[in-house]
C-alpha cells in the first residue's frame, strides 16, 4: 500500500544521506504528517508546493572543518528539492581552522548562491576566520548582540625540536627533491630562506582570503 511505498522510498533516500541528515529529515516529515511522492525525488522536504520553503542547515565547525562532508550532502539535498523563491538559513558557529577545510565549506554555500537561493547566515556566538569566510557567502548575516565575527588572517605554527635532537645526539635525515619541498618542519634546522618562503606562502593565502570576503 501507500505506507509500504513510502517506507521503501525513505529507505532508499537514507542510503545516500548521512545518518544524522536522514534522521533530521525524516523526523521533520513525521512531525508534519507529510506524504512522499515517489515520482518527485526529495519531495518530502517540501510541505506545500505552493508556498515558499526555508531550508535550515547547521554548521558547528571544528579546526579541521570536519562537518563539511555533512554540509555538502545537505546542500545537495536542498538543491534537489528547492524551487524558485525558496531560501536557506544557515546557523553557523565556528572559530575557523584549516584553509583547505573552510575553503571547501564556503564553496558548498556558493553552490546555493549559484542556484539562485537566498542565503541568510545566523551567528549566535562566533564566526571567525574560516567561519567569517563562510558567513560572507550569505546574502544577509544576522548576529546576536555580542557575537564575534571577523578575524581575517592566516597563521602557521609548528614546534621545532632540532636543537634538542642535536643535544641528544639524534640526527633526522630527510631526502627531498625540489628546493622548498620541506621548509619549516619540527625536525630540521630552519633557515632564513625557509622562513621567507613560508611567509610568502601565507601572505598569498591571506591575499586570497581578503579578496574572497571583499567580493
The pLDDT score that the predictor gives to residue 131 is 95
Q: Which residues contact 82 (CB under 8 A, 6 or more apart)?
A: 53, 55, 88, 115, 117
Between 74 and 42, the more confident residue is 74
- Tell whether pTM > 0.85: no
Between 198 and 9, the more confident residue is 198
**Nearest-10 crossing angle of helices 2-14, 19-32:** 150
Between 168 and 39, the more confident residue is 168
- The share of the chain scoring above pLDDT 70, in percent, equals 77
DSSP annotation of 38: T
Buried b (16+ CB within 10 A) or exposed e, 58-85: bbebeeebebbebbbbbbbbbbebbeee
DSSP structure string for 68-129? HHHHHHHHHHHHHH--TT-EEEEEEEE----HHHHHHHHHHHHHHHHTT-EEEEEEEEEEET
15 has a pLDDT exceeding 70: no
Least confident piece of the model among 11-25, 74-88, 175-189: 11-25
The pLDDT score that the predictor gives to residue 139 is 96
Catalytic residues: 129, 181
Give residue-wise pLDDT tens across range 147-172. Answer: 999 988 888 888 999 889 889 898 88
Give residue-wise pLDDT tens across range 122-147. Answer: 999 999 999 999 999 999 999 999 99
Amino acid at each position: 500500500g501507500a505506507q509500504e511505498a513510502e517506507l521503501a522510498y525513505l529507505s532508499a533516500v537514507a542510503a545516500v544521506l548521512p545518518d544524522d541528515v536522514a534522521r533530521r529529515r525524516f523526523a521533520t516529515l513525521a512531525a508534519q504528517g507529510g506524504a512522499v511522492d515517489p515520482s518527485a525525488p526529495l519531495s518530502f522536504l517540501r510541505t506545500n508546493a505552493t508556498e515558499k520553503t526555508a531550508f535550515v542547515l547547521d554548521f558547528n565547525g571544528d579546526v579541521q572543518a570536519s562537518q563539511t562532508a555533512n554540509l555538502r550532502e545537505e546542500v545537495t539535498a536542498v538543491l534537489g528539492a528547492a524551487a524558485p523563491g525558496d531560501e536557506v538559513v544557515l546557523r553557523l558557529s565556528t572559530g575557523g581552522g584549516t584553509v583547505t577545510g573552510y575553503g571547501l565549506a564556503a564553496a558548498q554555500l556558493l553552490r546555493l548562491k549559484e542556484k539562485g537561493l537566498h542565503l541568510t547566515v545566523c551567528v549566535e556566538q562566533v564566526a571567525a576566520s574560516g567561519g567569517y569566510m563562510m558567513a560572507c557567502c550569505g546574502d544577509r548575516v544576522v548576529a546576536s548582540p555580542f557575537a564575534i565575527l571577523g578575524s581575517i588572517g592566516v597563521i602557521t605554527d609548528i614546534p621545532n625540536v632540532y636543537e634538542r635532537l642535536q643535544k641528544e645526539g639524534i640526527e633526522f635525515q630527510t631526502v627531498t627533491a625540489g628546493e622548498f619541498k620541506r621548509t619549516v618542519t619540527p625536525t630540521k634546522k630552519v633557515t632564513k630562506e625557509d622562513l621567507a618562503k613560508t611567509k610568502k606562502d601565507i601572505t598569498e593565502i591571506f591575499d586570497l582570503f581578503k579578496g574572497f570576503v571583499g567580493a
